[in-house]
Structure 1
């Protein structure tokens, strides 16, 4: 029974990941800015986007989706760090 529940949770997490990160976003790379990433990350992201995305998404789609989730997940922490670094001297 325990293995079945774990398998169901894993299957659900995989489905959630696919929906969140491996679907086209409609974002056009030409409408954005150039970003440089290390060759290591570029290779990984390329493989994720092309293979896991079944050729339906590109690197820009994947990065857009990752950042779309990152900012809400860590928004409060980002604001706190930002505010701590920009406190007035007096």
Structure 2
């Protein structure tokens, strides 16, 4: 039994590299970081990804509740089923129970989240969709 433990070798893993791998995926050049280039030197097809700014500073807690914790006209039974990761479901349940004072359903909260997301990113979604949509003829 001791010999088995002696044979096992724990590799040295760089946590930052693993985090980058999870965010960016596997790169063509492996785990090594490519040579940093300035934005002017970057090729046209390799533009940096601009991520959406954190908008939490722009909204007050009261505004958040007004946007996301309002009643909706439809009910879950008239919609379609969607599976939610258990971790997300647990968070959603706690949010609805505590912030929504158990007066709103998870369905209504998700409905409001999606409505807000589609309103906020409608133009970007259309742009990406049109870019990727290829007509048959």
Q: Is the TM-score greater than 0.5? A: yes
1:74 aligned partner: 121
1:21 aligned partner: 68
1:47 aligned partner: 94
The change in CA–CA distance for 1:26 and 1:51 in structure 2 (over 3 A counts) is: farther
Q: How much is the aligned-residue C-alpha RMSD, in angstroms?
A: 1.8
- Name the CA distance, whole Å, in 2 between partners of 1:74 and 1:24: 22
2:112 aligned partner: 65
Q: Does 1:87 align with 2:134?
A: yes
Large movers: runs of 4+ above 4 Å? none
Is the 1:21–1:62 Cα contact (8 Å) retained in structure 2? yes
Is the 1:27–1:64 Cα contact (8 Å) retained in structure 2? no
Single out whichever of 34-43 and 22-31 deviates more from structure 2: 22-31
- Name the CA distance, whole Å, in 1 between partners of 2:118 and 2:109: 15
Deviation of 1:25 (Å): 1.8
- Name the CA distance, whole Å, in 2 between partners of 1:49 and 1:33: 20
Q: Going by fraction, where is helix more abundant, 1 or 2?
A: 1
- Structure 1 spans left out of the alignment, 5+ residues: 1-9
Aligned length: 80
Larger relative contact order (CA 8 Å, sep ≥ 6): 1
**What's the TM-score once normalised by structure 1's chain length?**
0.79
What SS is found at the alignment partner of 1:26? coil
2:36 aligned partner: none
- Structure 2 spans left out of the alignment, 5+ residues: 1-56
